A and B are shown apart, each in its own frame.
Chain A
Amino acid sequence: MEASQGGTGKMVGAQVRRVEDPRVLLGKSQYVDDLDLPNSLALAFVRSPYAHARIVSIDAAAAQNQPGVRLVLTGADIAGAIKPLRVEYEPAKAPTHKPCDWPVLAQDKVRFVGEAAAVVVAADRYAAEDAAGLIDVEYEPLEPVSDVEQALAADAPLVHEEWGDNVMQTLQAEIGDVAKAFQEADCVVSERLTTGRHMALPMETRGCVASFEPATDTLTVWSSTQVPHVLRSHIALVLDFPEHHIRVVAPDVGGGFGQKGHLFPEEAVSAYLAHRLGRAVKWIEDRRENLSASLHAKQQAVQAELAVRQDGTILGIRGRFVGDVGAYSEYPWGSAFEAGHAASSLPGPYKTPAFSFEAVSVATNKTTIGVYRGVGLPIGVLTMERLMDLAAHKLGLDPAEIRLRNMIRKEEHPYTTIIGAEVESGSHRESLQKALDILGYQECRAEQQRARAQGRYLGIGIGCYLEGTAPSSAAFASMGLNLGGYESATVRMDVAGKVTVLVGTHSHGQSHETTLAQVAADELGVPLADVKIIEGDTNAVPYGMGTWGSRSAVTGGGAISRASEKLRNKMLRIASRMTEVPDDDLELAEGMIRRRADTTPLMPIKELAHRVLVQAGSLPRDEEPGLDATAHYEPPPSTHANATHIALVEVDSDTGQVTLLRYIVVEDCGTIINPTVVDGQIQGGVAQGIGTALYEHALYDENGQFLTGTLMDYLIPTAIDVPQVEIGHIESPSPHTPHGIKGVGEGGAIAPPAAIANAVADALAPFEVRVDAIPLTPERVLGWIEQRQAAA
């Protein structure tokens, strides 16, 4: 392990209170909508009521004459001024990928219900909405592509004519001899299932404020974003505006979960309008827009088979994942990312000698798919964990036992998986065992039997996963994606010995002001209160990738550790001259320069800081002045976290209603920086995963009409519906990262669909139901029971 050299190791691992809590809990956070600039104008977008239609004409005269209306723009008005969003993969790495243009305002046709066709700029949002209602867009409806099956039919209407079909990308791979594995298997099980289209649904919807200052020729965009620098680069690109004259600020952000890790058409339009009008503009989307016109996720149809020996040993897996990616491709990941991610995650923590997969991404006339917490993993894990249960059932093995037999063992690390990932460390069997212990597995099985005798149906479901966190630049490059995986940080000491850390990650609930400060405090031997973390302002922080992909503790923490190391080395070098103690016998700890051997304090850090920064004449001549350092950190090729989830459910066999009784997670994210924060990430992730499993469903009818435009139709679990998760921790530090940190941001959301679907199948084992779809709505569950009863 790359241990922290100078730190006392006291803060990393400590359960300190979250630094951001007083602000968040007292309602003092400053979100983008809290920013009121003088003379600001409000935007409202006119959105398509059709899934697929040609725009014949737009009459905005009535709207233009409304009181308070400053400007109305249509697609035709901005055609040359704002480039469409376009995701290009490197053709050599992604030969089947077809790019498409996403016009920021629809040009010739609209491709989903909710697509922006025009924008109104008015004195306030009320006036803007009044005017938007008066804009008369004449549409010529086209036949919509409403699902994947239709999209793949030979005579299907085309979402993007230039493609010739509706397939955005097809990925295929075979590793090992899969056909042979299936021939030699004692037992083959197969699963077909569909997952529900759903979404991140951050509590704060999307939004931005843009302003232009002619005196300095500066365009500033405050956006509720996870990726300030990515946004800046892409705004520069689509507006053809010099990037060094753009500043992007992400203020407090009320949740992102991947949805806000993109450039959106509305942000580009806002930035353009601020520049064009020389006035600040504000766009705050409402909930209906967020539901219908932001990004959806995870609607896939899966078919997979598992080949095992009599004793449950896995011989081979094959899977086909077809993703319904909607109308366009999101910037910068590309909407084809998800299906491939799901497919390649299939083997999970299980040793698999042969594996093949196909991932097909298909365009339809629906809202575009984007990355959402866990991306494809919840689907891959659901599929694999269902297969494991089916195989166990067929072989008469306990579901826990078949998993234990196939999991990578502790002594096998580093273990190279079938897809070539080096799993550096982990606790697959241990986390499963510990989760079973927390549950009281045997007692629960006995209770299940007793309950069945009374006509009550309890079920236990297991979901295990292996997650590659903090993807590296090379990992993206291998897929042909133009995106970095590195992170940057600057660490500055001031004359009082206090530390300011500027880092390119962004916190929108992840508590970086606490955890990243804990890392810096240890690295520089200062108290936590002496560290301030600054993120989210491209004029302040070095170029970074923002926060997504369970990356910030690894990459932000890594960059801070590296930058701190540079600064620390310099401080110790200077201190060595002053104290005449060799620098390798010095350390920074508890606010002091100390002798390492016997921890004798030699000089307060703040005295050193003052001497270097203010009494600079005393600085040795060969030392550069200043006390700051910047580092750019490229994470290792992969940093693997793992976990086991167990759900205990009860199913009402008369109504199909599923009730979650208990939920257990044993997670391993390597070294824990702060247990409170890890627990919070798990609890929140599980809540979203419960949504995926039981509630959330963005529905369209056969005409591509969106049916779930309010939170009365689109259901998410509320606090009442989410049990207090019983969390256990195991720490298998990464040998490759500073402090042994791995990622944890997405984990909680990855396994609930698997654990809950398995639990429901287990509860209904007496009916031998086939769980073939999520979300597990009461009507669907009852349907499975009745189907079986009818068949019997």
Chain B
Amino acid sequence: MKPAPFKYARPGSVDEALALLQAGGDEAKVLAGGQSFVPLLNLRMASVESIVDLNRLDDLAYIRRDNDTLCIGAMTRHRQIEVSDEVQAAQPLLCRAAAEVGHLAIRNRGTIGGSLVHADPAAEWPLVAAALDAQLVLRSQDNSRTVAAREFFLAPLMTAIEPAEILCEVRFPVAPAGAVWGFQELCRRPGDFAIVAIACQLTLDDSGTCSTASLAVGGAHSTPLHVADVEPIVVGSQGDAAVLTAAAEKAAAAVDPSGDVHGSADYRRRMVKVLAQRALKEAWSA
């Protein structure tokens, strides 16, 4: 379990990193926390000619609130988000989701940017990014663009990022007044990737009536899946059981899961229903 040989560079600035990446073409890749990439290299399931290590780029590690937007630098570690007061105040669902990513040692190293680009359909960051309609800021040597998370994920471990691009920032909308959320994850052991996970955010008025709703599913589809059809069912309701069941069934109908050793496709679909119901209920009872 040793990687094949590769070249290694540790640039001191984002521009330098972008130049190295551009020069390396398809055969260069960036290294962030290494918590997904390094195992793939060691298992020889991935091999690259050169690695551009981003770990010196402190200017990609930050949490900053900009009015209604929470901006998080791609090299921010899972753990920094999990324990951030600023994040807790602006969008507590992120802290909750971060706490479910692997174990402490992994959260201390792994980054939000790495998780999003790695694009494991069962991972927490892609899920909440889809649920909250996050925007991803991508840069290459001569371009900068913003892609919606809901468009970014294409297939398992495949995204819209180009080889010469670096994900620099993730922008989450700050939770609006009246926002409540639910987060449910089913996994074999705490810290494992989800068999199924659900993240949802609702806005409720004083009487508990829902005015906006967004729900996404992880682990049960080729990408994290925002189920837009849930919103019309839930909006206007007060979260009674029949509504939750109907919404959950909608979510279960929307996914096209594949199975693995931890759960068959059929099991995952059924768990989407169970967990979606629980997540919506959790949100309403917050």
Contact = CB atoms under 8 A, between A and B. Distances in A.
9 closest A-B pairs by beta carbon, nearest first, are: A286-B1, A779-B267, A126-B2, A654-B274, A129-B2, A713-B261, A720-B190, A721-B189, A779-B263
Given A125-B2, A130-B4, A778-B186, A288 B43 contact: yes
Contacts of B190: 720-721
A708 B5 CA distance: 26
A691 B239 CA distance: 40
A697 B274 contact: no
Contacts of B2: 125-126, 129
B267 A707 contact: no
B192 A715 contact: yes
Contacts of A596: none
A287 B261 contact: no
Contacts of B44: 129, 133
Given A286-B1, A288-B43, A778 B261 contact: no
A44 B5 CA distance: 16
Contacts of A133: 4, 44
Contacts of A129: 1-2, 4, 44
Contacts of A717: 189
B189 A288 contact: no
B271 interface: yes
A187 interface: no
B41 to A, nearest CB: 12
Contacts of B3: 126
B281 to A, nearest CB: 12
Nearest to B275: A655
A108 to B, nearest CB: 28
23 contacts: A129-B2, A129-B4, A129-B44, A287-B1, A654-B274, A655-B274, A697-B261, A707-B261, A712-B192, A712-B193, A713-B262, A715-B188, A715-B262, A718-B103, A720-B189, A720-B190, A721-B189, A721-B190, A777-B188, A778-B267, A779-B263, A779-B264, A782-B267
A40 B260 CA distance: 41
A712 B40 CA distance: 12
A695 B190 CA distance: 13
Contacts, number: 59
A718 B261 contact: no
Interface residues of B, number: 26
Interface string B1-42: 111110000000000000000000000000000000001000
Nearest to B274: A654
Most chain B beta carbons < 10 A, residue from A133, A286, A654, A777 = A654
B193 A130 contact: no
Contacts of B176: none
B1 A288 contact: yes
B191 interface: yes
Interface string B96-119: 000000010000000000000000
Nearest to B189: A721
Main secondary structure of the interface of B (DSSP, over half): loop
Contacts of B270: 782
B92 to A, nearest CB: 23
A684 B271 CA distance: 33
A14 B228 CA distance: 66
Most chain B beta carbons < 10 A, residue from A133, A655, A782 = A655
B111 to A, nearest CB: 19
Nearest to A44: B2
Interface of A: 125-126, 129-130, 133, 286-288, 654-655, 657, 695, 697, 699, 707-708, 710, 712-713, 715, 717-718, 720-721, 777-779, 782
Nearest to B45: A710
B261 A126 contact: no
Most chain B beta carbons < 10 A, residue from A721, A778, A782 = A778
Contacts of A710: 39, 43
Contacts of B193: 712
A782 B186 CA distance: 13
Most chain B beta carbons < 10 A, residue from A699, A708, A712 = A712
A130 B44 CA distance: 10
Contacts of A657: 186
B279 to A, nearest CB: 13
Contacts of B274: 654-655
Contacts of B271: 655
Given A288-B1, A654-B274, A655-B274, A718 B189 contact: yes
Contacts of A721: 189-190
B5 A778 contact: no
A130 B5 contact: yes
A718 B186 contact: no
Interface in B261-286: 261-264, 267, 270-271, 274
Nearest to B271: A655
Nearest to A695: B188
A654 B186 CA distance: 11
Interface in B159-214: 186, 188-193, 195
A721 B2 CA distance: 30
A287 B44 CA distance: 14
A682 to B, nearest CB: 22
Contacts of B261: 697, 699, 707-708, 713
Contacts of A778: 186, 188, 195, 263, 267
A720 B262 CA distance: 19
A720 B193 CA distance: 15
A697 B262 CA distance: 10
Contacts of A655: 186, 271, 274
Contacts of B4: 129-130, 133
